Structure 1
Amino acid sequence: MFRRLRTYQLVVDSSIALAFFVIAWPIETVLAAGAFGVEYALGSAGHVVFGGLIAALFSFALAVRRLSPPIALGLAWAGALVQMGLGRPPSFSDVAIFGVLYATAAYGSRIVYWAGFASALVGALVITVYLFAGPSFAGGGLTWQTLPLALVLLVAAAFALGLSWTIGALVRSAVRTRETRVAQQRAEAETVAEQERVRIARDMHDVVAHSLAVVIAQADGARYAAAADPAVATEALATISTTARSALADVRLLLGQLRHRQGDGPQPTIADLEEVYAQVRAAGVPLRVDVDPVPPGEPPAAVQLAVYRILQEALTNALRHGAPGGAVEVRLAWLPDRVELSVRNPAAATTAAPAPRPGHGLIGMRERAQLAGGRLDAGAEGAAFVVRATIPIGGPA
C-alpha cells in the first residue's frame, strides 16, 4: 500500500501538490460560479467550498502518487465523481489525473498497474458520455449528429490518458531492466570471487597438507631413530627445513595473489614431481613410480598442474592414512589424447571400518580433475586405497 521514499522525494511531492492546490482552488471556485449560472462573488461560501473540495482531492492524489499509487488512484476517481456529481465541466484540477496514471504504471503493484490501465480506458468513456449526455453545457446531448464528434473525443481522451499510463509503463520497464542488470553483475562478481576463494583454498590445502605431512613423518621418525643414530635426526631436520621453506614460498605466492589480485605466478609442473617423490621417500615410505609411456612432448600447463596437485594430494593421503611401512605405487600413462594416473597404497587397519566422510583432499582432487576436463575416482579396493584419474590432453575443459 505504501512505498518507501526518501525524505527529499516526500518534500518534492508535497511541494508540487501544494503549489497545484494554490493554483487549482481559485480556478475551481470561478468554474463553480459559472457552472451554476450564478454571478461570481468571493464571499460565496458554497463556491469556495466546492472548488476547494475538488482541488484538495486532486492535489492530495498528486501528493501521494509515488508514496501510495492505489490511494492516489482512488482519490483521483473520488475527485472526478464529485466533479461530475456537481455538474461541473473539466478543469485545471483534472491535470492531476495524468500524473496519477503515470504513477500507477511506474510504481504500482501488478494489480494497481492494470487498474491504472483500466482506469484510462474507462475514464475516457466516462468523460465522453458525461460531456455529451450529462449537464446542460453538453451542447444538446448525444445524437446522431454529435456521434462522430463524440467518437473523436473518446479516441482523444483514451489517447491522452493512455499516453500517461504508457510513459509510466516504459519507465517501469527501464527501472526493472536496470535492476536486473545490476543484480546480474553482482551475482557474476560474487561467483568470480567464490571461484577465486575456492581456488586459493584448494591450492593452500594442497601445499600445506602435503608439507605438514612430510614434516610430521620426518619428526616422528627422527624422534625414535635419534637414540640409535644421531645422524638420522640431522638428516630429518634438513628434510624438514627444505620442505618448510618450499611450503613457505608457495604460501607467500598464494597470499600475494589473494592480497593484490595479481596474475598467477609460476606453477609447478611434472618436472617438480621428483621433489615430491623425494620428500615421500625421505619420510620413510617405500615409493615405486612407473611412467609408461612417457609424455609425448610438452603437455599443456593446465594438465601438468592438475597431475602435479592430484599426485601431491594422493601421496599426502598415503602418508597420513596409509598403513605404516606400506609401499606406495604410482602409475602414469601419457597417452596421445589423455593422461591416466593411479596411486595405490595399503590401507591402514582402521580403514577397514566404514569409510569416513570425504574430506577436503578428495574434494580438491576431484575438482582439479574436473576443471581440466577429466574425472577422478577414489576408494578402497580390497586391502588397498586407490586413486585413479583420467585427464584429457587438449580436450575441452
Structure 2
Amino acid sequence: MTVAPLLTDTQEAKTRTRQRLIDALVKVLPVLVLLLLSHSGGIRSFNEIGIEVPWYAGILIEILCILPLAFSRTNPGAAAGFMAVFCAAQLLIGAAPSVSALAVPLILYACAKYGTPRVSWSYLAVALLGAAALAAYVMYVDMYYMQQYEYYRDWSDSLASAALFAGFAAAVSLVFWLAGHLAGRRRRELGAISERNQLLIRERDQEARLAADAERMRIAREMHDVVSHSMSVMIAQADGGRYVLAQSPERAEQAFTTISQTGREALTEMRRMLGVLREEDGALQKRPAPGVQDLPQLIDDVAASGLPVRLHMLSESIPQLPEGVGLAAYRIVQEALTNTLKHAGPQAQAEVWVATAAQPSPALMLEVRDSGRGSAATDDGAGSGLLGMTERARLYGGTVTTRAHAGGFDVLARFPLTRGAGEATARTTAEAAPPNRTEETR
C-alpha cells in the first residue's frame, strides 16, 4: 500500500530536477554568457552615484539576479522574490540596468504560467513598481550629472526620459505577463481536463467493480437456488427409491432416473453460471434465464419428486415481463417449493397461484401454500432461502410476505407492473377465470 506513493514522490522529484536542469541550460546559461560578454571590454564601476562597492560585488549581484531563472518553473514565487531583492540592490549601488534585466520578463512569464493567481498578480505589481523605481533612478542620475558637470537641462526633458524608460519596462513586463497568463490558463484547462479524465476512469473502474460484485451476488443467489432445489429433489427421490426398491422395482427405477436427470440439470446449470464467471469477452452462449413461462415444468419436476403440487395460472393472462422480474418470480416459487420439500413433512401438499391484480395498483401476484407442519415445524427455514426471496423481490420493487400457521406455510410475493399492462391482464383474468382463482390446474 505504500509503494505507489513512494514511486509517485520519486517520479515527481525527478521531474522537478529535470525541469530545473533544462531551465538552467536554456535560460540561465545564455544570459550569463551575455553578461560576461558585456564585461569583456573592461571592468565596470558601480559607485558613480550610489553606495561604493567593489566591482566584483556588482557582478555578483547581477549573477544572483540571473540564477533564480533555474527555479522559475518549480518555485516561481520564491525565484521572483529572490530576483526582486537583488534588482533593488542593483539600483541602490547605482548600477544601470544591464543584461541581468532580461531575467525580469522571463521570471514574470514563469510566475503567470506556473504560479498561483496570488503569485502572478503580486509580482506583476512588483514589476510595475520596479518600472516606477527605474524612472526615479533615471531622473536621479540626470540630476546627479547636471550637478556634477554644472550644465542646465530642462526638468521636463528629464521627466520625459524617465517616463520613456519606465513605460518601456512596464510594457515589456505586461506583454510577458499576459503571454504567461494565457499559457497558464491553457495549462490549467488541460490539467483540469486530464484530472477529469482520471476521475472518469476511476469512476468507470469503480462502477465496473460494483457491477462485478452485483453479478457475483446474483450468481451466488442462482447457485443457492439451483443447488438447494436440486439437492432437495434428489434427496426426496433417493429416500423414496430406497423405500420402494424391494416393493416396486419400476417405481424405484423411475426415482433413480429422476435423481440422475435432476443431477445432470443442476450440473449443467452450475457449469453455465461458472462459465459466466470465467468468460471475459461475452462469447459464451447462454440459454435464456427461466421465467414464469417455465413454472409448469418446475411443477412437474417437483411433483415427480413426490410432493403433490398444483399450479393455478392462465398463461395468456400474464403480461410480457422483464427478464429479471420473470427470473425472480421463478426463483421465488422454486425456493418456496424447495422449503416445502425440506420442512413440510411427508404428507404435505402444495398449491401455487400466479395471477395479476389491478387494485390498488397493477401487480403480478405469486402465492405458494403448503399444508405441512407450518408453525409446528422444528426448523422454519428462516435462513438464506427466505432472505434470498426478499432480496430478489426488493431488487425489482416487489415484496415478499411469509406466514407460518397451524395449517402450513404461506409465501406471498408481489411485483409492481406498468398500469396499462396490469389493467389489461387483470381484465383478461377476471373475464376468463372463476372467482375461486383456479384457472389452469396442473
TM-score, L = length of structure 2: 0.68
Structure 1: tracts of 5 or more residues without a match? 66-70, 105-115
Do 1:117 and 1:165's aligned partners in 2 also have CA atoms closer than 8 Å? no
Q: C-alpha offsets along residues 203-233 of structure 1, whole Å, 9 cap, x if unaligned?
A: 3332222112211222233345545555544
Shift in Å at residue 341 of structure 1?
Answer: 0.7
For 1:174, the equivalent position in structure 2 comes to 193
When residues 24 and 333 of structure 1 are mapped into structure 2, their CA distance, relative to the original with a 3 A threshold, is: same
For 2:267, the equivalent position in structure 1 comes to 248
- Structure 2 CA distance, aligned partners of 1:276 and 1:79? 86
Do 2:230 and 2:262's aligned partners in 1 also have CA atoms closer than 8 Å? yes
For 1:85, the equivalent position in structure 2 comes to 89
Q: C-alpha offsets along residues 60-115 of structure 1, whole Å, 9 cap, x if unaligned?
A: 344xx1xxxxx5532332233223233364623331443354334xxxxxxxxxxx
Which secondary structure does the structure 1 equivalent of 2:364 belong to?
strand
Q: Which of 51, 55, 64 pairs up with 1:53?
A: 64
Q: C-alpha offsets along residues 178-209 of structure 1, whole Å, 9 cap, x if unaligned?
A: 22222232233333333333333333332222
Shift in Å at residue 266 of structure 1?
Answer: 2.6
For 1:25, the equivalent position in structure 2 comes to 32
For 2:126, the equivalent position in structure 1 comes to 126
When residues 149 and 91 of structure 1 are mapped into structure 2, their CA distance, relative to the original with a 3 A threshold, is: closer
Percent of pairs identical after alignment? Answer: 27
- Structure 2 CA distance, aligned partners of 1:324 and 1:151? 103
Q: Computing the radius of gyration over CA atoms, which structure comes out larger, 1 or 2?
A: 2
Do 2:61 and 2:86's aligned partners in 1 also have CA atoms closer than 8 Å? no
Do 1:99 and 1:164's aligned partners in 2 also have CA atoms closer than 8 Å? no
When residues 60 and 152 of structure 1 are mapped into structure 2, their CA distance, relative to the original with a 3 A threshold, is: closer
Which secondary structure does the structure 1 equivalent of 2:402 belong to?
strand
For 1:327, the equivalent position in structure 2 comes to 349
- Structure 1 CA distance, aligned partners of 2:58 and 2:168? 30
Tell whether 2:306 aligns with 1:306: no
Which secondary structure does the structure 1 equivalent of 2:290 belong to?
coil
Paired amino acid for 2:312:
D
1:384-395 map, 5 Å: 384-394=408-418
When residues 138 and 166 of structure 1 are mapped into structure 2, their CA distance, relative to the original with a 3 A threshold, is: farther
Which secondary structure does the structure 2 equivalent of 1:220 belong to?
helix
Paired amino acid for 1:369:
A
Q: C-alpha offsets along residues 299-351 of structure 1, whole Å, 9 cap, x if unaligned?
A: 34625433322211221222234345332232222457542111123435224
- Structure 1 CA distance, aligned partners of 2:32 and 2:340? 90
Shift in Å at residue 143 of structure 1?
Answer: 7.5
When residues 78 and 220 of structure 1 are mapped into structure 2, their CA distance, relative to the original with a 3 A threshold, is: farther
Paired amino acid for 1:81:
V
Shift in Å at residue 29 of structure 1?
Answer: 5.3
Shift in Å at residue 22 of structure 1?
Answer: 1.8
Tell whether 2:46 aligns with 1:36: yes
Q: Which of 296, 301, 305 pairs up with 2:317?
A: 296
When residues 312 and 297 of structure 1 are mapped into structure 2, their CA distance, relative to the original with a 3 A threshold, is: closer
When residues 317 and 143 of structure 1 are mapped into structure 2, their CA distance, relative to the original with a 3 A threshold, is: farther
Q: Which of 199, 206, 229 pairs up with 2:218?
A: 199
1:151-300 map, 5 Å: 153=171, 156=175, 159-160=178-179, 162-226=181-245, 229-260=248-279, 261-262=282-283, 264-291=286-313, 294-296=315-317, 299-300=320-321
When residues 197 and 271 of structure 1 are mapped into structure 2, their CA distance, relative to the original with a 3 A threshold, is: same
For 1:16, the equivalent position in structure 2 comes to 22
TM-score, L = length of structure 1: 0.75
Do 2:402 and 2:412's aligned partners in 1 also have CA atoms closer than 8 Å? no
- Structure 2 CA distance, aligned partners of 1:152 and 1:82? 19
Paired amino acid for 1:322:
A
Structure 2: tracts of 5 or more residues without a match? 1-7, 49-53, 142-157, 422-442
Do 1:208 and 1:247's aligned partners in 2 also have CA atoms closer than 8 Å? yes
- Structure 1 CA distance, aligned partners of 2:387 and 2:128? 73
Do 1:333 and 1:340's aligned partners in 2 also have CA atoms closer than 8 Å? yes
When residues 255 and 76 of structure 1 are mapped into structure 2, their CA distance, relative to the original with a 3 A threshold, is: same
Paired amino acid for 2:21:
S
1:347-386 map, 5 Å: 347=374, 349-351=377-379, 356=382, 358-359=383-384, 361-371=385-395, 373-383=396-406, 384-386=408-410
When residues 103 and 149 of structure 1 are mapped into structure 2, their CA distance, relative to the original with a 3 A threshold, is: closer
Do 2:389 and 2:400's aligned partners in 1 also have CA atoms closer than 8 Å? no
Q: C-alpha offsets along residues 19-49 of structure 1, whole Å, 9 cap, x if unaligned?
A: 03322323455679769378xxxx9643443
Shift in Å at residue 59 of structure 1?
Answer: 0.9
Paired amino acid for 2:31:
A
Tell whether 2:82 aligns with 1:73: no
For 2:366, the equivalent position in structure 1 comes to 341
- Structure 2 CA distance, aligned partners of 1:56 and 1:155? 22
Do 1:28 and 1:93's aligned partners in 2 also have CA atoms closer than 8 Å? no
- Structure 2 CA distance, aligned partners of 1:159 and 1:119? 14
